[in-house]
Chain A
């Protein structure tokens, strides 16, 4: 005879595995620090690449002015200024990344805990059924 409660539980587990569970299992396989650290590393690379693009666009935009004034410029000061902006961008972007991915990790762990609880329940249900049938 079909155990309705068991079928419902199995369906719930299957839906979770197919949907958000897939991503959550990947997130949950990391320690919190590792996961956020990896995302922060990706953020630093992204900001660095984006800064390169912005710098390229800026140089090309002001190409004529830069060529005319290149000998009068304090290149060291400009370098320092650019580094300051770059660091501010990295800090701001990393702070945003930290907040977003901490929340995602927390949510994924919560979902996985619930999933594990349901798995245990299912396993217990199967054991109980086995014992009942052996009697």
Chain B
């Protein structure tokens, strides 16, 4: 454990020292990954699939505010949808605009959650998002989670039914439009997932703020159980397909990732908790102080060992 703590100190030190370079680099890497993922999930426009285009787009994102990344990814997805059909592009654009106008403005700082939600869904670990937002965010982070879930399910519905949409080319435009809208609005899975994300974030947020020992771990496990419970309820009531084994496995991995986050953000030593009580003119104070686990990063000293020759010897 001490070795891990030393590594953590080193990481913190170097991140703080080279923040000026690391921040744009991290933004570039994230934008590149997310754009490549968007291309992989949709990828109907050949020009956008080119690595050079993605590279330039990611490079632009690295010098812009984080929210620009969301706009860039949304632009890519709409452009890909436009190749499939105008109706697909119109529906996706309308959904993105509604999310931006009505929801995303309340929590613009959770950009990372919005961008990572579709990726985590594809990796079968979507549960890490509510865990992360519950532990690090506020109840308003629900808004970002909902944006991510709605965007993912809308796009994945269209990509899953792409053959049907293209086969309907002979039909009227309004028929294709209705088919897409109906499919997205009738997605019970999206509603269940939205409810599960929202409730999990709230549960985790309130438990991790309780003044109890191991509150973060309790919050993670309880949140995870609540999430699976809601998915099972969705399965019972609306027949939403839930692979219980996969969900439990994904949840265990998500809790593992959340534990790593906890190690970096909230690593405390409950055994050394101190409870003190004192007073001043106005108040009585009942203070519970939990120390953070830290170690000093060992500083390396280079000692040069060499024999000093006297001038006489040299002579």
Contact = CB atoms under 8 A, between A and B. Distances in A.
Contacts of B101: 46-47, 49-50, 53
B98 A54 contact: yes
Interface stretch (B110-118, B173-181, B286-294): B173-181
B53 to A, nearest CB: 28
A4 B303 CA distance: 30
Given A47-B102, A50-B101, A57 B94 contact: yes
A60 B174 contact: yes
Nearest to B102: A50
A64 interface: yes
Interface in A27-56: 42, 46-47, 49-50, 53-54, 56
B226 to A, nearest CB: 25
Interface residues of A, number: 15
Interface in A55-84: 56-57, 60-61, 63-64
Contacts of B181: 57, 61
B140 interface: yes
Contacts of A46: 101-102, 105
Contact of B177 (A50, A53, A61, A100): A61
A120 to B, nearest CB: 21
B174 A53 contact: no
B56 interface: no
A47 B97 CA distance: 11
Given A53-B97, A57-B181, A100-B140, A64 B102 contact: no
Nearest to A42: B105
Contacts of A56: 94
Interface in A74-98: 93
Given A57-B181, A100-B106, A100-B140, A50 B174 contact: no
Interface in B91-105: 91, 94, 97-98, 101-102, 105
A49 to B, nearest CB: 6
A50 to B, nearest CB: 5
Interface string B132-162: 0000000010000000000000000000000
A93 to B, nearest CB: 7
Interface string B263-280: 000000000000000000
A127 B229 CA distance: 62
A108 to B, nearest CB: 14
Contacts of A93: 102
B174 A64 contact: yes
A79 B206 CA distance: 44
A54 B101 CA distance: 12
Nearest to A97: B106
Interface centre among A54, A56, A63 (most CB of B within 10 A): A63
A63 B101 CA distance: 25
Contacts of A57: 91, 94, 181
Given A60-B90, A61-B174, 7 more contacts: A46-B105, A49-B97, A53-B97, A54-B98, A57-B181, A61-B177, A64-B174
9 contacts: A47-B101, A49-B101, A53-B94, A53-B101, A57-B94, A61-B177, A61-B178, A64-B174, A93-B102
